[in-house]
Amino acid sequence: MKKVGLILSIVIVVIASFIFVNKLYYPALPIENLSAKDAIDKLKESDSKIAEIAVEGDSIWYITSSENRGISIADENIKKKVVSNGWEF
């Protein structure tokens, strides 16, 4: 009985580690061929607070971080990106 409990514990730890390392707890993106982990990695590699992650047809997809301060900071990042491109929000 102790062996079964030990084996079950090891399996749970391995599965939890796999989920954490591969960022499977992030929601799916509406972009084909790009995982949430890849998008987060592109944002971390970027020098700015907003990063381009994909181009599909006429659409360009970006990602930004809210730094645990809510959606308002993400909105501000998007507005700055729009203005920097010479567009009007």
**Residue 10 CB-half CA count within 13 A:** 6
List CB contacts of 42: < 8 A, sequence separation 6 or more.
Answer: 51, 52, 53, 63
Query: Read out DSSP for 9-58?
Result: HHHHHHHHHHHHHTTTTSPPPSSTT--HHHHHHHHHH-SSSEEEEEEETT
pLDDT of residue 82: 83
Break the chain into its structural domains and give their ranges. 27-84
pLDDT of residue 79: 85
pTM: 0.55
pLDDT of residue 23: 64
pLDDT of residue 76: 81
pLDDT of residue 38: 84
CB atoms within 10 A of CB 45: 8
Residue holding tokens 């954490």?
Answer: 20
Return averaged pLDDT per consecutive 10 residues of the chain, 89 residues in all.
86 85 70 81 85 85 74 78 81
Vertex 81: Cα angle to 77 and 83 (nearest 5): 115
pLDDT of residue 32: 78
Record the tokens describing residue 79, joined without a space: 């507005």
